[in-house]
Structure 1
């Protein structure tokens, strides 16, 4: 399979994009991808005419690297023109260099890093969501500083996603995923009574700003930072995005459900563009039908909804209206904007990293 994939890439002139992964022993499947040759890319599905201005007619989805087991937490560094993305089960962080068009290992033994962010000084902020269970910052000299690992004297659960506000406060979610099993770290008992959203002040004070969500996941601010959006993984009855008002002191109020994934979709990590639209990682939530179906003579409990119809990126307006769906061959867990002009959408999707140029720019 790898040899066939290598020949396919060489024929397509894409060897440089995947060479770093394929040159070393693969730690996971290197997923073959055949880009669409027609313009506009039929994988970009417009659900509302207002989205048409964000689609670039002559831009198609590209696969930049593969060979991961569960890609998460992409973050772009404009100073070096590179992107970092977590490969959680393989316990490493990968690096895509858009100048060299290469994909390589940035950090091994990454403490099962999940979400990543860039602070206002250009430093990497990381959620180590198992074993160490902490928020860290990588200094410019490479030294790692622990920013938070306990709340009220008890260990954090499994820090998941993180965002840095313009006032240098760090906001992160703390569900249980990293300690629920052995796939993305090590199983452990939670010490916190609830799964919270935290605000870490520049002076080191840690505050639980939201305590009533069951396994909060992705989070992001509106362009003016007056609203905070948070995905609730165990929403009722579906996964949801909640909206909160944020005051000048960092307190949140006025909880409103903005998006309900009523089609059995799995909202995950997301980003907000300058116009306030939410670009959300999407895929099947894994829920099963209540009754089995006959499949090849066996009674099988099949998935509710079809993963092949759900895998990709959903775009919602600031009011929660579906605007577009970017279809991918793998479930997208998280994404970010990057590139020299901030208009390249990077999508961390299961085994692979994909990208698409759009007429939208990240809010921060």
Structure 2
């Protein structure tokens, strides 16, 4: 019997062209998520109210909360990492590496020490659909670590062909990274989750954690038990902490990302194509 059997999928709203980057805001009892192709962001509150959170959003994609409850966002349009301050203003945190612009930061997580970790594939610059068509100024697609306190930026990993979603293990000793390079390299690319040991601002000992099929791994999240809830073409696959598949939540649209939220942290919010969904896990 699958661990995911009996879970009920609820469609909450469908306002987006391409929904991405859900982040739970506990003080607002709400989820904020990006509509990357619509160049805007929405907020859905648990009372059912949907509102426009930001427009334009500079083609924001992935989002995360920092230690002070501020939303940190990956912007395709400005090819940068930004932060929404308590007063609602938006501040650019980092936009260049050694004087060169990033490709298009895609997904982001914030560690408990305040460091910001993000991926930088080219999907926001290959066309005008999710940003602005432009040439890459860097030689590859990397995972970065940025410390906003010291302004130090590090290339944390360079062995991922097309890094996308990322999430820490519960004790933050490991970082999981999605590699969806099969889209660009059909015969040589990967469709897998990789796992790294965190060593300061570096990622070491990288290896395959789990293959993802059908489709590709995009965004994902990790629960307190260390299980990974990962997007795929037709749902959310559940892997245990050893990379063994435990089940799948079927979703009628292509899934992009997911995050936990709700008052007890046991509600899985899923962005999939045009919509935001919810599954009550009931841990």
| TM-score normalised by the chain length of structure 1 | 0.74
What is the deviation of 1:154? 0.3
**1:172 equivalent among 91, 95, 118:** 118
**1:140 equivalent among 86, 103, 111:** 86
What is the deviation of 1:186? 1.4
RMSD (CA atoms): 1.3
What is the deviation of 1:238? 3.5
Equivalents in 2 of 1:260, 1:78: separation in Å?
33
CA contact (8 A) 2:154 2:202 kept: no
Equivalents in 1 of 2:143, 2:52: separation in Å?
30
Equivalents in 2 of 1:238, 1:207: separation in Å?
24
What is the deviation of 1:220? 0.5
For 1:327-338, list aligned pairs within 5 A. 327-338=250-261
Instruction: Tell me the residue number matched to 1:129.
Output: 76
Q: Say whether residues 1:255 and 2:194 are aligned partners.
A: no
Instruction: Tell me the residue number matched to 1:350.
Output: 273
**2:230 equivalent among 280, 284, 304:** 280
Q: Tell me the SS of whatever aligns to 1:178.
A: coil
CA contact (8 A) 1:238 1:264 kept: no
**How many residue pairs end up in the alignment?**
277
Larger Rg: 1
Larger proportion of helix: 1
**1:243 equivalent among 165, 184, 195:** 195
Equivalents in 2 of 1:264, 1:180: separation in Å?
24
**2:11 equivalent among 53, 63, 66:** 63
Q: Tell me the SS of whatever aligns to 2:255.
A: coil
Instruction: Tell me the residue number matched to 1:155.
Output: 101
Unaligned regions of 5+ residues in structure 2, if any?
183-187
For 1:29-108, list aligned pairs within 5 A. 46-47=1-2, 51=3, 60-98=8-46, 100-108=47-55
What is the deviation of 1:339? 0.4
CA contact (8 A) 1:229 1:242 kept: yes
Equivalents in 2 of 1:175, 1:157: separation in Å?
6
Unaligned regions of 5+ residues in structure 1, if any?
1-45, 284-310
Q: Which runs of 4+ in 1 moved over 2 A?
A: 235-238
Question: Greater shift after overlay, 191-200 or 235-244?
Answer: 235-244
Q: Say whether residues 1:216 and 2:163 are aligned partners.
A: yes
